[in-house]
Amino acid sequence: MFTLRHRWLAVLGRSGAERQYHGLTTMCRGAAGVTDRDRLLVRQLEPNLVRPTVLASGLFWERHRKGGYQTEQRASTKELIVNGLKELRTEFALFQQEWKEKLESDPLVVFRPGEIDVVFGFESQTDLDRWVVTTDRDHGEGYSQAALERSPAGFGLFHGTLESRVPKDGRIKRAGYANIKSLRVRKSFKRDAFYDWSQYNTLVLKVRGDGRSYLINLTAEGYYDILWNDIYHYVLYTRGGPHWQVAKIPFSKFFLASKGRVQDQQGPVPLNRITNVGFSVGSRGGHEGSFRLEFDFIGVEFDPSHQEEFAYEMYRQPKYIVAT
């Protein structure tokens, strides 16, 4: 059943509802000839109006995919044309590589059970440029620092310092995190693409950690705004010390979360629609200080001995049962 708020939004639209809100709420401010009856009418209608802040906060509609954390700078039309012409050579090279791979690919050669297919290497600076590092310090929400660099041994090194100290602005309650995330995979001419891992069932990582637990993030970004933040998580436990470890994690173990909240309705990872891969570390629980995670490679594998499709059993509860 629709409330008066939804009817205003459906009839007037977003911009019209905002104009009506501003018009009615300012009617009593310095306007001549406004009676007490008019002020009472405004107070009765105001709770049902659609406020611009409600729409901007993401309850009904989200304007940006990054939820207000976008840092892109606007460029003029001339700058866009000049930058586009400069990228033509790169885009045509990607287009040529796409057709080359399509004509030469052989499923019997590319896909072999028991073999690891490397998706991300960390052998050169070009490989490291495929990742983006973020911390709470980037947006003025904390004081943590992190970087992804080449280690002295020639591998990818994700390291930094975590601080749970929050800025004294009265806005931030918790702080202390660092994250790396791969760039969105795409085709030539800025066409979005996906990692198709539907033939595999295991994520394989060769890492050297510091004993901390890291969160693995597999982003399966959808088309609609409600699906923009769908991320599948699992924990990567590191041993610490000088030795490497090979972690094999079945995709059936990953669970769905959105904006940091584990969802009630779970399901298998859509392996044909993976957009990004990421790793997060936090200082929650008093785990402040430096961290260090070294990568050799990240790959996928088909393990014939693994038959599990989904690790978490779902129960269908009656709708009137709450918090059970």
Residue 13 lies in a domain: no
* Tokens coding 212: 């901390």
pLDDT number for residue 221: 81
- At residue 96, the 3 state secondary structure works out as helix
Residue 158 lies in a domain: yes
Residue 100 lies in a domain: no
Give 148: exposed, middle or buried? Use CB within 10 Å, 0-12, 13-18, 19+.
buried
Task: Give, in degrees to the nearest 5, the angle at Cα 135 between 130 and 139.
Answer: 110
pLDDT number for residue 48: 46
Residue 292 lies in a domain: yes
**Against a cut of 0.75, is the pTM above it?**
no
pLDDT number for residue 235: 95
CA 209, CA 112: separation in Å to the nearest integer?
Answer: 29
Residue 200 lies in a domain: yes
Residue 50 lies in a domain: no
pLDDT number for residue 115: 87
CA 324, CA 317: separation in Å to the nearest integer?
Answer: 9
pLDDT number for residue 87: 82
Mean pLDDT for the chain overall: 79
Tell me the one-letter amino acid at 141. Answer: E
pLDDT number for residue 3: 45
Q: pLDDT (tens digit, 9 = 90+) per residue, 206-261?
A: 999 999 999 999 998 877 777 788 899 999 999 888 899 999 999 999 999 988 88
* Tokens coding 168: 């004294």
Residue ranges in the chain whose pLDDT is less than 70: 1-72, 105-111, 317, 319-324
Residue 8 lies in a domain: no
CATH of residue 184's domain is 2.60.120.430
Domain housing 120: 112-302
CA dist 274 → 73, 304, 307, 316 (Å):
27, 22, 21, 28
For 283, phi then psi, to 5°, come to -105, 15
pLDDT number for residue 156: 95
The domain total for the chain is 1
Residue 323 lies in a domain: no
pLDDT number for residue 155: 94
> HSE (CB half, 13 Å, CA atoms) of 68?
8
